[in-house]
Amino acid sequence: MLGPLYTIVLTSLSSSGTVTRAGGLVLVPDGITFEAYRQISSDTVVSRAVIVSTGVTVVGTLISAGVSILGAYSLSRPGSFLHRPLLFSVLLMFVFFPGIIPVYLMVSGLGLKDSYWALILPTAVSAFNVVVLRSFFMGIPQEILDSARIDGAGEFRILVQIVLPMSKAVTAVVAMFYAVGYWNAWFNAMLYMDDTRKWPLALILRQYVVDSNPLPAATAGVTGDAPPTLAIKMAIVVIAVIPALIMYPLVQRHFTKGVIVGAIKG
């Protein structure tokens, strides 16, 4: 992991002459320059894409984590409203997926095309994350919840004040899964976003770095005709990777406990 990351960062900090002499990716430093990052920061397209990705990731993670926690808690309580049909529906999502065309028609029919909600709602809930949360919630001793009910606490208060504080590990891991998924998602943007000003960074990364296409015009006066250089491409890759590098150490201590304990209980 460190080898490719070192090469990408070093190439992004190298001058055009250094990249030319290296014949591609730079392995040995020969002067450091931040010109690629300065060019990106002055580029309206990339700057706007970073803002779009950040907003979609924050809002999407809050919605997805909230809905998943509420759904998992209700499914972890035997005898809850429509418990078996809803649980069967969630488990069925592991086997069947409606497909791209039905989902596209539904998104278009709801008028969500060219809307940021099209980047959030179609993938707002993951059946895997709901099942992991449900398994963890089922492992919480029933006596603790019963004592809270005797004291007059309702289900929502029990969830917020008792269950969630005892489930920090699995909640942090699930939130990280959602956040990384939203940050790296590009396919929904390619399907539903015709307005290039609303493209997230992941789609810019694919168009500009993977497909070597010029940056799309964000406004009438901003164009991306300049031929892409390897240093600029690697700088965009670094910007796209930074959030995951920051996020993972924060939840790393919860990662193994949250996934393994949540998966084997229940």
Give the residue from 81, 69, 61 showing the smallest Cα distance to 134: 69
Position 222 scores a pLDDT of 41
pLDDT tens digits, one per residue of 212-251: 665 554 333 444 433 347 888 888 888 888 887 887 777 6
Q: Are 230 and 141 in contact (CB under 8 A)?
A: no
Q: Is the confidence at residue 55, as pLDDT, over 90?
A: yes
Q: What would the mean pLDDT of 242-264 be, rounded to a whole number?
A: 64
pLDDT tens digits, one per residue of 17-53: 788 787 878 888 887 888 888 877 777 888 888 899 9
Give the residue from 65, 34, 76, 87 showing the smallest Cα distance to 238: 34
Query: How far does the chain reach from its first CA to its final CA, in angstroms?
Result: 35
pLDDT tens digits, one per residue of 161-187: 899 988 888 888 899 889 989 998 889
Of 77-91, 110-124, 204-218, which gets the smallest average pLDDT? 204-218
Position 116 scores a pLDDT of 93
Q: Residue 174, exposed/middle/buried by CB under 10 A (0-12, 13-18, 19+)?
A: buried
- Predicted model pTM: 0.80
Of residues 61 and 89, more confidence is placed in 61
pLDDT tens digits, one per residue of 98-141: 788 889 999 999 999 999 999 999 989 988 899 889 888 888 88
